[in-house]
Amino acid sequence: MEYRTLGNTDLQLSAITYGAFAIGGTMWGGNEKKDSIEAIHASIDHGVTSLDTAPFYGFGLSEELIADALKGIDRTKVQILTKFGLVWDGSNGRNGAHFFDIEDNGQNLSVYKYSSKANIIKEVEESLKRLNTDYIDLLQQHWPDITTPIDETMEAMETLIRQGKIRAAGVSNHGLPLLKDASKTFVPASNQVAYSMLNRAIETELVPYTVENNIGIIAYSPMERGLLSGKYFRNETLKSDDHRNGYFGQFDLEKVKGLLEKLSPIAEEKNATLAQLVLRWTTLQKGITVVLAGARNTEQAISNAQAMNIALSPDELRTIDGYLIDFVQ
């Protein structure tokens, strides 16, 4: 495993960071608590020290599972990354910008983007309780909120750093103009954004800016929710309430299948899976600090961590880039 400094902070994160969206169950066809906790343990046993979650992931369940998994583990040896700004319980008076409606466990919920100072303070206290910790290593604004001035949001996170509630503050899903606006008040440690072989839009403007200004990039969906593993081209089925039934429809699946067929010989030569090759390629891209990889069982967790064992030469990286030319935005 490699450990990388996040932006302008002293945080050292594992290059492969555990992504805890799926273990929350919501939008992913449910979850198995035992498997989820074992996956976190296996990740840590294989060098993954950073865990990325959010209150929205399972409406608190993901954070609670991380707390359960970390019982008996030295808190200083792991980094907890969580978020704020997606509210659903109605206690905010339906403030903020409506995002979407969702059904969860028979409940119809409305989700709002809301990042006022008062809401941030409230959410952090709730996350600290669910996570059973007295500090968060990296707190991130989950999605921009057009109803709250960005300077109010950034000032709130700066205050939380001074109070010792969080070690560092970042943002997520921020385009370049908004990232620049946020930085006028407080330069975030990181920006968590979607990035994969099939989605390289950030390379044009966002990455050059973050590199120049020492802002880390946390890449999410590097596997495009499992599509780039290749298993969904081998008759793998999804539960009816799994959001990927619709998510995969945005891609030209025949084109993606062709790409994976080209990558397969490289993976085989490295004695690796397609998923491992894709993850390793992502960790080697300019400006990418860490890459999120979800795992719902021990096997997936170990496989993700071991992706860092793959060595890719400059020639091999150029070959892969040649295969990706049709996917560059």
Buried b (16+ CB within 10 A) or exposed e, 218-249: bbbbbbbbbbbbbebeeeeebeeebebeebbe
In the set 57, 114, 195, 220, the catalytic residue is 57
Q: Residue 169 — φ and ψ, nearest 5°?
A: -130, 140
* Beta bridge pairs of residue 19: 52, 294
Query: Other CB atoms closer than 10 Å to residue 183's CB: what's the count?
Result: 17
Structure tokens at 47: 């060098």
Q: How far apart, in Å, are the Cα atoms of 211 and each of 68, 180, 202? A: 36, 13, 12
Q: Is 67 in contact with 52 (CB distance < 8 Å)?
A: no
CA angle 50–274–31, rounded 5-degree value = 50
SS3 state of residue 318? helix
Q: Does 220 qualify as catalytic in the annotation? A: no
14, β-bridge pairs: 3
With b for 16 or more beta-carbon neighbours within 10 A and e for fewer, the 122-159 pattern comes to ebbeebbebbebebbbbbbbbbbbeebebeebbebbeb
Taking the C-alpha atoms of residue 53 and residue 64, their distance in angstroms, rounded to an integer, is 10
How buried is 177 (Cβ within 10 angstroms: 0-12 exposed, 13-18 middle, 19+ buried)? exposed
Residues marked active site are found at 57
